[in-house]
Structure 1
């Protein structure tokens, strides 16, 4: 099945990592000679970083350090005058894409377009993201509609940092990566040769992603086996290393929102959750300038799949559909 999926995707930089009832299998695309083995490279996750941020939030709530219903503006800038709708945005609204915020801050695209193919986020650092949030005018009342927003999850990262007095990267390491033993996962580029290199559709290389102030929404890089470890920790029977993480894993599996045709598709705190003949499938995908990632697991079959590829997404690309179908229909 993995060989069929690899042929369908037809990407030299492909890695598919499967865990089924504790047994792990890796499948690669065409193998390039020399260099670091592909399962040891760190791949850009893009939006598939969000499950890490969601798990971090759930762990901090379980530890009593923040609450889901805390006002983000109140934690970021106590006493700062903001629009009443912004004041009403909670941490839960930010992670579940129900804040009413747009996908990107006002003014983001004019500064990003000149460097869209190289570094669109680099001109929007953390302080600018926070200022944009405090000046925002939500499109709908918080909690009433779902609208996917990198802006909102980025604000969440800065809010958690303000609430705890620790940068998001340090919090992630302390509360999630360290306890789970994810030594091959990090929020920044590593030493030369340790990170996978993304490619444009024409095969040309692209620079490592600079996420600017959007780190919590898309900055994580990880090896395929680290991604399997992360996903396996979500499966029934896995033993969490800390009590807050045990509570967090239970929380992020719990359905919260319903949407789509006949509301068949649900969302948890941080995962998309779709039905299948053999039980629900939890997943999240992501893409950067030259890489793609898919993370998914099925509690009912004890299965987890992490797939990465070093090719830029395009309209007819079969990567996401193939891996999603593999997990939903065949495993």
Structure 2
């Protein structure tokens, strides 16, 4: 079965108003689209999609780039790059930028003050209007678990990482990410804020019908605000498959180095930003994301030069995006290993 055949099967298996599945194999691209809604005039492949937590892979790549230039150190204390007064809890002062990137900071997923709203209104954007000062106040009130002792996924931590990088360089985070990551990699279809009508895909709730308009992510932009075209995601993946062809070679290589193992029996490997699983011929690396109305997945298999990006404008397990995209990538790894 060809890569195009497998990609077509994946498009058919994902249930959403708009679906894009894009594959790169040693530089040869295949982009297929589908969905239950009428396609937009410009085509689904031309829209920018909300990446949700895939944004973290961009932010941590920024960390690696700045560390490579000596602007920050990966093992710098977080509080060294935040304004005074310092948080009162001693454990907070032990958190490093590496802890934030690898979800080992001891911080909760989101500030505790946001939990009631998230539970009562799961489709309401509680991040909108949540500014940097509020984020820093929340950090000051939080007593983290001892950093480095457990893996716990944290949007809170990545938001603080973005804040620290911005303050360390004296540059607002969107401008910093654009200058140090997006421009060097040629990602002209990637941004952190919604665009004009017709440029961005419209998300939907779990029912696949109720629209979810785009919104700002406030201080949590480093954790979840990036939106990109399928073509840009393939370019991003190709940079990771062939770091030497990019101006960010050292940083791209650095984010792929295994950092820790976690989960039951410590069977899961995590790099500075990617989840890493065994696969035929060598490991595959991946990350997934979701916003209030969209879902995304990207992953790559360095041994075979294969990358997969999948996007859908529906939020919910019934969409089947993550499992389908992961299975597609794994199958393509097997095809390559089998000759």
What TM-score do you get using the length of structure 2 for normalisation? 0.92
Shift in CA distance, 258/125, structure 1 to aligned 2, threshold 3 Å = same
1:265 maps to which residue?
Answer: 268
**2: CA distance, partners of 1:175 / 1:22:** 24
**Could you say what secondary structure the match of 1:253 adopts?**
coil
1:125 maps to which residue?
Answer: 131
1:148 maps to which residue?
Answer: 153
Q: Which runs of 4+ in 1 moved over 4 A?
A: 111-115
RMSD over equivalenced CA pairs, Å = 1.6
**2: CA distance, partners of 1:149 / 1:90:** 14
Structure 1 residue 124, shift from structure 2 partner = 2.3
From 220, 224, 227, the equivalent of 2:233 is 227
**Could you say what secondary structure the match of 2:210 adopts?**
coil
Structure 1 residue 88, shift from structure 2 partner = 0.7
**Could you say what secondary structure the match of 1:163 adopts?**
helix
Residues 234 and 309 in structure 2, CA contact (< 8 A), matched pair in contact too? yes
Residues 7 and 22 in structure 2, CA contact (< 8 A), matched pair in contact too? no
Matched residues, number = 326
Instruction: Name the structure with the higher helix share.
Output: 2
**2: CA distance, partners of 1:273 / 1:33:** 34
CA deviation map 1:159-180 (0-9, x unaligned): 1111111011111001000111
**2: CA distance, partners of 1:33 / 1:232:** 27
From 150, 160, 165, the equivalent of 1:160 is 165
**Could you say what secondary structure the match of 2:310 adopts?**
strand
Residues 265 and 275 in structure 1, CA contact (< 8 A), matched pair in contact too? no
**Could you say what secondary structure the match of 1:289 adopts?**
coil
Structure 1 residue 38, shift from structure 2 partner = 1.2
Residues 44 and 288 in structure 1, CA contact (< 8 A), matched pair in contact too? yes
From 205, 218, 224, the equivalent of 2:211 is 205
Shift in CA distance, 106/201, structure 1 to aligned 2, threshold 3 Å = closer
Residues 243 and 249 in structure 2, CA contact (< 8 A), matched pair in contact too? no
2:26 maps to which residue?
Answer: 21
Shift in CA distance, 193/261, structure 1 to aligned 2, threshold 3 Å = same
Shift in CA distance, 110/261, structure 1 to aligned 2, threshold 3 Å = closer
Residues 185 and 226 in structure 1, CA contact (< 8 A), matched pair in contact too? yes
1:279 maps to which residue?
Answer: 282
Any unmatched runs of 5+ in structure 2?
A: 1-5, 334-339
What TM-score do you get using the length of structure 1 for normalisation? 0.94
Residues 112 and 123 in structure 1, CA contact (< 8 A), matched pair in contact too? no
**How does 1:166-205 map onto structure 2 within 5 Å?**
166-202=171-207, 203-205=209-211
Structure 1 residue 246, shift from structure 2 partner = 1.4
**How does 1:269-308 map onto structure 2 within 5 Å?**
269-308=272-311
**Does residue 108 of structure 1 match 2:111?**
no
1:312 maps to which residue?
Answer: 315
1:252 maps to which residue?
Answer: 255
**Could you say what secondary structure the match of 1:234 adopts?**
helix
CA deviation map 1:82-116 (0-9, x unaligned): 31100110100011000000001121123445653
1:49 maps to which residue?
Answer: 55
From 318, 321, 324, the equivalent of 2:323 is 321
**Does residue 67 of structure 1 match 2:73?**
yes
